[in-house]
Structure 1
Amino acid sequence: MYKYLFLALFISAISPTFGQSFNNAQKARLCLQYYRNGEFEKAAACFEELHNKDRSHDYYYERYLSALFELEDYKTAEKVIKRAIKASPEKLERRVDYGRLYARQQKMEKAEKEYKRAIKELTGNQIQISRLANAFQKQDRHAEMVATYEKGEKLLGQPGIFAYQRGNAHRLAGNAEEMVKAYLDAIEAVPGRLTNIQAFLQRYLPEMTGSYDALKTELFRRSQKDANNSLYPEMLVWVYVQEEDFESALVQARALDLRLQENGSRVYKLAQMALNEEQYQAALDAFAYIVEEKGKTSIYYINAKEQILYTKRKQLSKGFAYTEEQLRTLEGEYKAFLKEFGQNAGTYGIMKQLAELEALYLNDLDQAIQILKVAVEMPRLDRKRLAEAKIQLGDYFLMNQEVWEASLLYSQVDKDQKDSPLGEKARYKNAKLSYYKGDFEWAQDQLEILKGATSELISNDAIDVSVFIMEHYNLDTTANSMRLFAQAELKIFQHRFEEAFSQMDSIKLLYKGHGLEDDIHFARAKVFLQKLDYSKALSELEQIVANYPEGILVDNALFQMAQIYEERLNQPEKAMPLYEQILMEHMGSYFTVEARKRFRKLRGDGV
């Protein structure tokens, strides 16, 4: 019984206080609503009532003062501020309010005097320092923010304790040089901040003119002053990567690797980044450093040698202008690698790349087939890579006009990888083979199934071929035009380009005005693009846009043209209007999303 009596007495004691707080909160919401509605007289009266009830409550004071400022009732505002300063002289942010009062009345000398006085009266209280700096930030007084933090560090005897905040103040003021100095001070004070500050810089440096140069200049200055501190070259690597200057980043990374006696991990990571950004020469230089300088003792030695070959192979696929001599040199490097490390499951990737080089660039199909025959017989090759090798081998048999062998390999993969993307790919290859042979109805049956493939790429390809067959099959009573075109496409796949072009010319002569004409131009454009003859590729694509404006290949042609100008010819000013044309005239196109992304990037919007 006594327990319940005590609880009742306790509740009765706190109820008035609780009720008052609840009522004040409701009242404050009403006051704020007045303020937001622009009813400043009501807001001022409302907040005044709350302020008079509890003058230590910062929120009531600040809102009351804001309402008075809106009313330009500076006389009352001054009284409120003076009273607040007298009641709590340690709250130096009230001096900032006084300065704000004068500034609103264009009394700038008096305002400056109050700001300086606030800073002068600082004590070694960290909370007081932070509150004053925040008050200056609210008024966009960035110089005073910096002065507050600088004096605070001296008073506390802790240099760099507010370096991060100083950096933020300089950023707000647009002072790149001082900003980077402060952020570097912050990292020196607390090295664990490095990642956070890098993320911060990554966000804001691009917005400030000259900021990257300012950061590099300061890093070099500090490196000379403290040559043993690895922080500065590490940051320089990071800065150069942000600028995509991988060659300069590599200079710093190599120096760090040597100084810290690392195993090449930093340089290898940088090489991978350069490769991902298609900075091939920088990637090659970095991988070569590991092979030549770190040698076989490095755990990255084999991977680096492999990546050198992969990078050179990647250059070919990206339209690198190569010579026969360069191709033969690369072939020799692949063979040297396999001689050093053998032909086995571990070197399968290199064998696969060498087969591609032989078949697609050196036109030695027999050699490519022989390499892959060895690969598919290797005992430790897993099922997935075995399936990949069989599909690739099937392609080369087809290029070599050995259709039966190709179909057999595709069928084996289809059976072994029934419900996987590789199985779907093999099934698509067989369907395309039926199309090449002119068996359009059988091909169409298989393509209908493949439209629902789990692989989006296979599904899209199946849809494209299926739609093509439906649109053009039976446009002439015998379907001969389609058979001729399918045979020409097979010849293109087999790199028998002149024969393919001759057959396409026959279609145009025999079936003048046929719906296949834009497809012929598109097929020819792909061949010229493969042969790095960009002017002829553009000419074929331009004919599609000009002569077949209602055709389904127009958006595709526009996108291909834009890509050639942007990626191959480095003429972004010609690519931009083509991307824009897709956005304006082909809004339902498959290419719309990518075209918008590229257009904005070229325009400088960021993505």
Structure 2
Amino acid sequence: MKQLFLLIFITITSVSFCQSDYYLAEDYYREGEYEKATQIFKNLYSNNLFNTTYLSRLISCYQETNKFSEVEKLLKTALDKDPKQAFFYVHLGYNYQRQQLTELAEKNYAIALNSIDTNSFYGGFIGRLFKDYNLLDHAILAYTKTMAKNKKADYNFRIAQIYGEKGNLKKMFEAYFKLVDKNIENYDLVKRYTSSYITDDAKNEANILFRKTLLKKSASNPKDVWNVLLSWLFTQQKDYNKAFTQEKALYKRNPVDLNSVFDLGKIAFENKDYSTAKECFYFITQQKTLQIEKIEASLYLTKIAVATNNPEVEKMFLSLFNQYGKNTSTIKLQVEYADFLTFKKDKPNEAKTVLEEALNYSRSRFDKARIKLKLGDILVFTGNYNKALIYFSQIQTQLKNHELAQQARFKVAQTSYYKADFAWAKAQLKVLKGSTTQLIANDALELFLKITDNEPVDSIPSGLKQLAKAELLSYQNKNEEALTELQGLFTPKNVFENGLTPGEVIYDDVLFFEAKLFIKQKKYEDAIVSLSKIIAADNQGIYADDVYYEMAELYNNQLNNPEKASEYYQKIIFDYSSSIYLVDARKKYRKLRGDKV
């Protein structure tokens, strides 16, 4: 037993010394002290002749110090001992290449590649060595030959990556699609790696090649997965209608799962493609599926109707309640109806009655939280801020770390902001900036920066209190009062207190919000005036691309001035290439110019 323990101790100690020597040698190597690194790697390799890492580093150290003959001697000795290890010829060939002996280099590369025909065992390793030496065509050939000899071997992923490095996107996509063809489980992997080449611009070269290569593959070997990938491509390009065509075809071939249609509908809705979103959700309601899925799709159909000002919205709600009833299954629908009654019909008391009734149907704390969130919104709408804060705080306590709790915390911050309690609002927003929900985190950061940049200093008014009050009035659908509050900021009150001027930080915030209010009232020319003032004050401000896009949209959709619209879309294309509006601006500019989009 003692001998066994001694053997284990010696083995562990030996491995530990090897590791420490390796790390020391690596440090010398990275610092360019190749002579010192050579001695250590030489000892390590002599004691571990099968360790290819030690060998590669030793070869590199010799080459960096121009000891090419030492490399040649080392490799030929290894080949004499075991000629089957043909990967040594790759090292040998590269050693000649470093000496600009191209003919000898290619001769040895050929020996390594030809060895795969008789023994594919080292084929993958040979391919990797060629890749490490940046001999990419040789690496592809090595992997291809290995797969031809060994049907179980699959190096398509590595081949695809190499084609990507070479910039041969067509070949890269072909290799990735072979992976999917071989095993459907590779779908997510392929999607992840190709997404770095695909953009939301349908005219991007990679997008075009992806689509053409995929269609060719689909024609020669029809499979559902090619339609799935096409749908994914169209979704990336925001061509949601084309994506829906693919999803519809897939479902008709295999009418089992509607999740992908539902997900597409949500994405289209979030990107304001209400037409396609409506098609997706209507399609779901027409299929033989679970009632809960039909209710969820109907919920989105009502959201679309509200967003597009459909005059039949209320009838839609009542028809759905008549069809599915007011119960646990329709709680989200009831909450949406209460929102509609409050913010579109100005009937908050009716909305409260709907929600109080819904509380009786709710069985889970999550449903209760959704109802209380909306009740809080209605209380803010009617000016009962303290009671609203109680509801929001209850949700935070009862559902810690859940998304609904994060929403409640944001509403606490927003309500505190409306009340001009900026310190408490900031305290809540600081927590939310790290929210796991990106949308909440973004909203929190935006409001936090607005307060931080504009809050009063040393009791000197900054205009933030008035802006917050105007935003509250707008939230309560009191848009005329909100405008009056804002416009008071630009009017000198007395000789000691002047109105806002273009040099002040809050100036852009006030004007941008003023423009939004004018748009809500359909006073588009007035909105243009407000937006133009922002540009005149500072065309490099944080609202610059938002302003240009808003102006382009107004001229394009409301004022029937395509020339002006084109001018502002162009500003985004040429001056704000990192803008979130870039792709949309480019598409709309091309359409105005008469291109076939």
What TM-score do the two structures reach when normalised by structure 1?
A: 0.69
Contact 1:391 1:426 in 2 (8 A): no
Q: Does 1:261 align with 2:255?
A: yes
Question: For residue 304 of structure 1, what is the amino acid of its counterpart?
Answer: A
Give 1 or 2 for the bigger CA radius of gyration. 1
Task: Tell me, in whole angstroms, the C-alpha distance in 2 between the residues paired with 1:95 and 1:213.
Answer: 40
Identity value in percent: 18
Deviates more, 1:68-77 or 1:339-348: 339-348
Aligned to 1:328: 311
**CA RMSD after TM alignment:** 5.2
1:217 to 212, 221, 229: 212
Aligned to 2:75: 81
Contact 1:99 1:111 in 2 (8 A): yes
Are the structure 2 counterparts of residues 90 and 281 from structure 1 closer, same or farther at C-alpha, using a change threshold of 3 Å? Answer: farther
Aligned to 2:163: 170
How far did 1:78 drift?
2.7
Task: Tell me, in whole angstroms, the C-alpha distance in 2 between the residues paired with 1:467 and 1:373.
Answer: 38
Task: Tell me, in whole angstroms, the C-alpha distance in 2 between the residues paired with 1:215 and 1:203.
Answer: 12
Are the structure 2 counterparts of residues 80 and 486 from structure 1 closer, same or farther at C-alpha, using a change threshold of 3 Å? Answer: closer
Task: Tell me, in whole angstroms, the C-alpha distance in 2 between the residues paired with 1:527 and 1:14.
Answer: 78
Task: Tell me, in whole angstroms, the C-alpha distance in 2 between the residues paired with 1:353 and 1:161.
Answer: 52
Task: Tell me, in whole angstroms, the C-alpha distance in 2 between the residues paired with 1:461 and 1:66.
Answer: 52
Aligned to 1:583: none
Q: Deviations over 1:461-486 (max 9, x none)?
A: 9979x95699578x9xxxxx999999
Gaps of 5+ in 2: 363-367, 397-407, 433-443, 554-567, 587-597
Contact 1:250 1:270 in 2 (8 A): yes
Q: Deviations over 1:318-344 (max 9, x none)?
A: xxxxxxxx5424454444434444556
Aligned to 2:526: 536
Aligned to 2:111: 117
Question: For residue 365 of structure 1, what is the amino acid of its counterpart?
Answer: D
Task: Tell me, in whole angstroms, the C-alpha distance in 2 between the residues paired with 1:482 and 1:151.
Answer: 70
Contact 1:390 1:413 in 2 (8 A): yes
Aligned to 1:97: 91
Deviates more, 1:303-312 or 1:380-389: 380-389
Residues 110-189 of structure 1 mapped to structure 2, 5 A cutoff: 110-122=104-116, 127-158=121-152, 161-189=154-182
Q: Find the residue that maps to 2:311 and give its secondary structure.
A: helix
Aligned to 1:246: 240
Question: For residue 108 of structure 2, what is the amino acid of its counterpart?
Answer: E
Question: For residue 239 of structure 1, what is the amino acid of its counterpart?
Answer: L
Contact 1:358 1:365 in 2 (8 A): yes
Are the structure 2 counterparts of residues 340 and 84 from structure 1 closer, same or farther at C-alpha, using a change threshold of 3 Å? Answer: same
Task: Tell me, in whole angstroms, the C-alpha distance in 1 between the residues paired with 2:192 and 2:20.
Answer: 41
Contact 1:263 1:299 in 2 (8 A): no
Task: Tell me, in whole angstroms, the C-alpha distance in 2 between the residues paired with 1:131 and 1:162.
Answer: 11
Q: Find the residue that maps to 1:130 and give its secondary structure.
A: helix
Deviates more, 1:303-312 or 1:536-545: 536-545
Task: Tell me, in whole angstroms, the C-alpha distance in 2 between the residues paired with 1:49 and 1:429.
Answer: 70
Contact 1:124 1:152 in 2 (8 A): no
Task: Tell me, in whole angstroms, the C-alpha distance in 2 between the residues paired with 1:109 and 1:134.
Answer: 22
Are the structure 2 counterparts of residues 395 and 115 from structure 1 closer, same or farther at C-alpha, using a change threshold of 3 Å? Answer: same
Gaps of 5+ in 1: 317-325, 399-405, 433-442, 476-480, 581-595
Are the structure 2 counterparts of residues 41 and 389 from structure 1 closer, same or farther at C-alpha, using a change threshold of 3 Å? Answer: closer
Are the structure 2 counterparts of residues 564 and 201 from structure 1 closer, same or farther at C-alpha, using a change threshold of 3 Å? Answer: same
Q: Deviations over 1:424-448 (max 9, x none)?
A: 969986996xxxxxxxxxx77x877
How far did 1:176 drift?
1.7
Q: Find the residue that maps to 2:360 and give its secondary structure.
A: coil
Q: Find the residue that maps to 1:161 and give its secondary structure.
A: coil
Question: For residue 202 of structure 1, what is the amino acid of its counterpart?
Answer: S
Question: For residue 219 of structure 2, what is the amino acid of its counterpart?
Answer: Q
Task: Tell me, in whole angstroms, the C-alpha distance in 2 between the residues paired with 1:214 and 1:350.
Answer: 43
What TM-score do the two structures reach when normalised by structure 2?
A: 0.70
Q: Find the residue that maps to 2:32 and give its secondary structure.
A: coil
How far did 1:132 drift?
0.9
Task: Tell me, in whole angstroms, the C-alpha distance in 1 between the residues paired with 2:174 and 2:82.
Answer: 35
Are the structure 2 counterparts of residues 511 and 542 from structure 1 closer, same or farther at C-alpha, using a change threshold of 3 Å? Answer: farther
Residues 370-519 of structure 1 mapped to structure 2, 5 A cutoff: 370-377=350-357, 380=360, 382=362, 384=369, 387-388=372-373, 390-394=375-379, 398=382, 407=384, 413=388, 419-420=394-395, 471=459, 495=477, 497=479, 508=491, 511=494, 514-517=497-500
